[in-house]
């Protein structure tokens, strides 16, 4: 594998999940693989799981890490070509990416959607500019439109906890006070479409996601109906895609509650975290053995470890 910008960079999802589960059983087996290698990690946005699990994954493979917070520690970067840089941006992506490429062997980047400029978000300006001007492999730690490390961790978790060969998986929109990106939902959809599963997306009218991602996956506007017989319930908020960046509703009608979970097939609750308690899901949903949120976060390590290992093996 040359890079990991989206799930499409994985040659085979099922094989990747199996290999990640094998790494989980024996995490230090490949400790010599990353000797003298450096992973640079650039954060344009906050992180807890992504930062620590990716560092831990690197450590398990013998890779050293350098972490930099770009939102307040680095020079503000100019991404446009041919501009006269007399404004607030001090450094051009061309120099920044070239310089970092000399210090590091691998480069991981977190750069959320702006949610104001749909064109730039869809073009993945930040991630793709680093991929273009860096001379080392780039790894996506959540970009404007995708969070493939999360989706791979979710695939591992579903494999570990599935009660049947063909489970019913529901992605449900949930309320949130802030406008959140589409990245987690997008990658979860792309991942789940590749599983042997009955997959349904449910959200209020107006929250339709990118049709190029949803493709043939059924959308059910009645949440209760969608949840019937579900084995996995993946909750996530996202802002409007069609009315880009807007919050259309914040009422608690779509919050996951223990009552709603009763209509599922003793369903497992999933969320990428961080989760707003009693907004996205009630305490009574999170504080039960059916919640897999902590296990999902643990699998982030093995998702990242699998990706780093595949890239290192490529040379
Ligand atoms: C991010 C998102 O894409 O939804 C990261 C998830 C891994 N989530 C948030 O920004 C939540 C922030 C909040 O205030 O609850």
* The pLDDT of residue 178: 97
Q: Cα(11) to centroid of ligand 1, in Å?
A: 28
Q: Which atom of ligand 1 is nearest to the CA of 236?
A: 4
Tokens of 280: 């996205």
Q: What is the pTM of this model?
A: 0.98
Distance, CA of 132 to CA of 109 (rounded, Å): 13
**Ligand 1: residues within 6 Å at CB?**
142, 178, 180-181, 183-184, 272, 274, 276
Q: Which atom of ligand 1 is nearest to the CA of 184?
A: 3
Across the range 137-152, mean pLDDT stands at 98
Which of the four pLDDT bands, split at 50, 70 and 90, describes residue 245? very high
Residue 303 exposure: Cα atoms within 13 Å on the Cβ side: 30
Q: Which atom of ligand 1 is nearest to the CA of 272?
A: 7
Burial of 85 (0-12, 13-18, 19+ CB in 10 A): exposed
- Please state at what angle helix 293-313 crosses helix 49-60, rounded to 10 degrees: 50
Please report the beta strands in 57-212, taking only residues with DSSP state E, as ranges in sequence order.
64-69, 77-78, 91-92, 106-110, 138-140, 168-173, 198-202
* The pLDDT of residue 295: 98
157-42-64 Cα angle (round to 5): 75
Cβ atoms < 10 Å from Cβ of 138: 26
* The pLDDT of residue 250: 87
Mean per-residue pLDDT of the chain: 98
Choosing from 274, 299, 303 the residue with most ligand 1 atoms within 8 A of its CB, the one to mutate for a pocket test is: 274
**Distance set, CA 144 to CA 31, 195, 237, 295 (Å):** 32, 24, 15, 25
Helices within 26-147 (DSSP H only): 49-60, 93-103, 118-123, 125-133
Closest by CA to 197, choosing from 214, 182, 217, is 217
Residue minimizing CA distance to atom 3 of ligand 1: 181
Q: Which atom of ligand 1 is nearest to the CA of 237?
A: 4
* The pLDDT of residue 305: 98
Residues of the chain above pLDDT 90, percent: 99
Q: Cα(274) to centroid of ligand 1, in Å?
A: 6
pLDDT tens per residue, range 278-309: 999 999 999 999 999 999 999 999 999 999 99
258 membership: H or E segment, kind and range: helix 258-261
Q: Cα(38) to centroid of ligand 1, in Å?
A: 28
pLDDT tens per residue, range 198-223: 999 999 999 999 999 999 999 999 99
């Amino acid at each position: 594998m040359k890079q990991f910008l989206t799930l499409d960079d994985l040659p085979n999802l099922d094989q990747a999940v199996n290999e990640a589960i094998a790494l989980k059983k024996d995490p230090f087996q490949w400790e010599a693989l990353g000797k003298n290698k450096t992973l640079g990690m650039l954060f344009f946005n906050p992180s807890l799981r992504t930062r620590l699990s990716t560092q831990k994954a690197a450590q398990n493979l013998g890779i050293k890490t350098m972490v930099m917070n770009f939102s307040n520690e680095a020079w503000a970067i100019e991404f446009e070509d041919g501009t006269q840089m007399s404004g607030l941006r001090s450094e051009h992506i061309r120099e920044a990416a070239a310089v970092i490429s000399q210090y590091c062997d691998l480069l991981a980047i977190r750069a959320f959607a702006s949610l104001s400029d749909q064109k730039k978000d869809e073009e993945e300006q930040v991630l793709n500019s680093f991929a273009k001007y860096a001379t080392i492999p780039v790894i996506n730690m959540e970009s404007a439109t995708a969070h493939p490390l999360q989706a791979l961790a979710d695939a591992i978790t579903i494999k570990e906890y599935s009660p049947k060969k063909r489970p019913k998986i529901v992605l449900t929109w949930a309320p949130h006070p802030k406008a959140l990106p589409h990245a987690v939902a997008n990658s979860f959809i792309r991942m789940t479409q590749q599983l042997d599963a009955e997959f349904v997306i449910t959200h209020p009218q107006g929250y339709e996601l990118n049709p190029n991602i949803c493709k043939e996956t059924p959308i059910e506007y009645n949440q209760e109906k969608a949840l019937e017989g579900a084995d996995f319930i993946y909750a996530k908020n996202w802002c409007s895609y069609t009315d880009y960046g807007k919050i259309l509703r914040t009422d608690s009608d779509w919050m996951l509650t223990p009552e709603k979970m009763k209509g599922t097939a003793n369903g497992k609750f999933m969320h990428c975290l961080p989760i707003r308690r009693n907004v996205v899901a009630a305490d009574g949903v999170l504080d039960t053995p059916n919640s897999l949120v902590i296990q999902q976060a643990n699998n982030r390590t093995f998702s990242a470890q699998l990706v780093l290992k595949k890239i290192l093996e490529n040379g």
